Every structure is written in C-alpha cells, then in structure tokens.
Amino acid sequence: MHLRQEVERVAGELQTQLDENKCWSHLYQQQEEKIWKQNGKIWDQEHKMLEQQEKIRVQEHKIREQGHKMLEQQEKIRDQEHKIREQGHKMLEQQEKIQEQAHKMREQELKNTGQLSADCTATRHGRSPNMDGELLLLTE
C-alpha cells in the first residue's frame, strides 16, 4: 500500500508540474504575441519615419530648386536693370545731340535770317548778293 501512495503522490506532483508548465507556456505565448505586436508597431513607425524622411528630402529638393530659380530671376532682373540704365544713358546722349542739332539749326536760321535782312537791305540799296555772299553792284 505504501507503494500506491507513493505513486499517487508522485502522480499528483507531476500533475501539478504539468499544470504549472501549461500556465507558464500560456504566459510565454502571451508574451510572444505582445512582442510580435510591438514589433509590428515598431515596423509601422519605422516605415512612417522613412516616408516622412523621403517627404522631407523631396521638400528640401524643391526648396533648393526654388532658391536656384530665385537666383536666376534676380540675375535676370539685374541684367534688365542694367540694360534699362544703358538705354537711359543712350537716350540722354541722343537728346543732347538733338538739342545740339536744334541749337545749330536755330543759329543757322538766325544767320540766314540776318543774311536775308542784310541781303534785303543791300538789294534796296542797289546791290545783290552772289552765291558766296559777296555783294555785287546792281546795274540797271
């Protein structure tokens, strides 16, 4: 009888250990599932971070391109301003030349008008100017 009790005792201990192992196995399985879920969340976060980094790279590239375009536009504006200044200088020079020509023409008109007056006076006195502006005596 003693042997039977020993077998039952050992069987009870084994059942207790088996139940405890099942419990531990269940806990391990739950922990593994939590770890898998956490790993999945971490992977999702890493994926989102990579996408954000790519978006940032694209934005930085666009910003650099805009900066280059702005520099090009500024250069074009400077060139246009330079050309406008040059045109302004040329126009001023042309205006000065026109004014000089007008002044010379007025002087010439005044000389011609003065010559005409002298010629008219000379003609009234019986003299006529020749082509060189010399007065010739008119004889009738």
pLDDT in tens, 15-60: 999 999 999 999 999 999 999 999 999 999 999 999 999 999 999 9
pLDDT, one tens digit per residue, over 89-101 is 999 999 999 999 9
**Residue 102: its H or E element:** helix 2-124
Q: Could you give the CA distance from residue 35 to residue 27 in angstroms, rounded to a whole number? A: 12
Q: Could you give the CA distance from residue 32 to residue 35 in angstroms, rounded to a whole number? A: 5
Regarding pTM above 0.85, the answer is: no
117 contacts 107 by C-beta, under 8 angstroms: no
**Which pair of structure tokens corresponds to residue 116?**
């005409």
